[in-house]
Structures are given as C-alpha cells and as structure tokens.
Structure 1
Amino acid sequence: MTKDKSKVFLFIDNDPAPIAELDTPIVFDLDTRKLTDGEHILKIISHSPTGREGIRTIHFTVANGPAIRIEGLKNKDVVDGTLSLMINAYDKGNQKSFLINGSETPQTIPFWIWIIIILFIGWALYYEITSANIQ
C-alpha cells in the first residue's frame, strides 16, 4: 500500500472476493451487464495510509434486460374470469443509437378521454342545432 494514498476494495453483494482493488482517487466503470437483473449491494471498504478502515454500502437495482410493459393487470390486483392482457418487451439497444422498433408500447385509450370526446361531440351537436334554429 502506498504511504500517501488510500486504497479501496469494491465488493458486489456478499462475494468475499473484491471486484476491484484501487488506489484513490480513481474513476471506476462498473459494468452492470455482468450482473443479473435485480437488487444488488455495492460495498466499498477503504484503507487509509494511517491504517484506519471505512465501509460504505450502496443498494442499487440492475435492469439491463428488456423492459416489460403490461396493460390489463397491475401488481396485487384481485381478479376473476378471463383477462385480456397487452404485453410488450423492448430493449434499450446498444445505447449509442436510438432503437425505435418495438420501443413504444401501444396503449388503450383511457375511459376518461372517451368521456371527454363524447361530451365535446355532444356539445358541438348541441351548438350546431341551436345556432341553426336562430338563423
């Protein structure tokens, strides 16, 4: 260990072997593609030149896999009968170019928009009928 720099050890989850052993200050690129999707813990243990030790843990979630959208069923819904589900899965691509194919999930129109459309059409018909009677 150098006398004037702290050293840090990076651990993922409960793995006893560090993924990196670095002298500070350092910029480290954590490649999350090597981790499974889900929750993880990054544990950083530092050793100062004076022999003191510090520990910091950071909880994070990896979501490298394709994003999954579902319409027609929500988490913890109580359901019965047959459900009509719309499911889409799409990837982020290589993050250097925008992937448009399949990246948008089609959605049904919410019922409140239908109500607004019907009210607007009703008002427009009422306006046309009443203005035609005046002339």
Structure 2
Amino acid sequence: MEDQSTVIIFIDDDEKPIGAFASPVNFELDTRKIADGKHVLKIVSKDPTGKEGIRMIPFEVRNGPAIAIEGMQENAVVDGIVPMMINAYGKGDQKKFLITGSESPQSIPALFWILLICFTGWSLYYLITYLSLSGD
C-alpha cells in the first residue's frame, strides 16, 4: 500500500499548526476562534518522498457585528464637516434570524430627487399646455 500525502494547516504566521491530516482532508475551519480581520490560511502538503507544496489563501473574518457607514467611503478625501450615519448590528444566534437592527437606514438617493423634479416639471408643462389649449 502506498503512503499518503500529509496536509498541515496553519493560520497566519503561527508556528503551531491547527491540524495535520492524511490526504484527502475534510476540514471545518471554526472562524469563531479567530479574531476579526484579515488572515492567511497556509496549507503545506508533504508527499511520501518528502517534497513539499505550499498554498496560501487570504481571507477575512467578520464574526462581530456588521458595521454600515453612509457618508464616507474608504480612502475618501474629505474636508469640513462630514455628516455620517453609522449602524452596527449583530447576526445573533445562527439558529434564529434577528430582524431588529439588521437593516441599515439609508438616505434617499440623488437620482430619485432628479427623477422627481423632472417628472414634476413635465407634469406642470403638460398641465399648463392643456389649460392654455382648452381655454381657446
């Protein structure tokens, strides 16, 4: 019987692996034990002859409350007073869905106001034209 390859899994630059398994591997990564933020999953494989292969997979953990911000984007250049709306809400228990606070209120987009003004202007033009023609 042929020997199997070994798969060793690391998170970030930790020297202690989170697991070492014989290939093929079915693995569940519990992100609740990892701090929120950017991380790298490092997978090292060793075949029976001693050759190594490495694969790095960057990922981001976001188990904490989601944060929605309106009024500023990433890497924005700002000056003066910047009005912002910030909403934070948790996912709650994975077995039940929380409605309260799970939607971020948003301001009305500028495109809506432009369309409303155009429609109102067209309506007034149509009304004035209709009244001036019916009065003759």
TM-score category, normalised to shorter length: 0.7 to 0.9
Cross-structure match for 1:78? 77
The CA deviation string for residues 67-100 of structure 1, in whole angstroms up to 9 with x for no partner, is 1111122233333333321100122333443332
Output the CA distance in 2 between the equivalents of 1:75 and 1:8.
Answer: 38
Give the letter aligned to residue 5 of structure 1. Answer: Q
What is the RMSD of the two structures over their aligned residues, measured on CA atoms?
Answer: 1.9
Give the letter aligned to residue 47 of structure 1. Answer: K
Cross-structure match for 1:34? 33
Structure 1 stretches of 5 or more lacking a match?
none
Cross-structure match for 2:20? 21
Cross-structure match for 2:109? 110
Q: CA deviation at 1:3?
A: 4.7
Q: CA deviation at 1:63?
A: 1.5
Taking a change above 3 Å as real, the CA distance of residues 66 and 51 of structure 1, as seen in their structure-2 partners, is same
Q: Tell me the TM-score normalized by structure 2.
A: 0.86
Cross-structure match for 2:55? 56
Q: Tell me the TM-score normalized by structure 1.
A: 0.86
Asked whether 1:44 is paired with 2:58, we answer: no
Q: CA deviation at 1:124?
A: 1.0
Structure 2 stretches of 5 or more lacking a match?
none
Give the letter aligned to residue 27 of structure 2. Answer: F
Equivalent pairs: percent with the same residue?
Answer: 56
Pairs aligned (count): 134
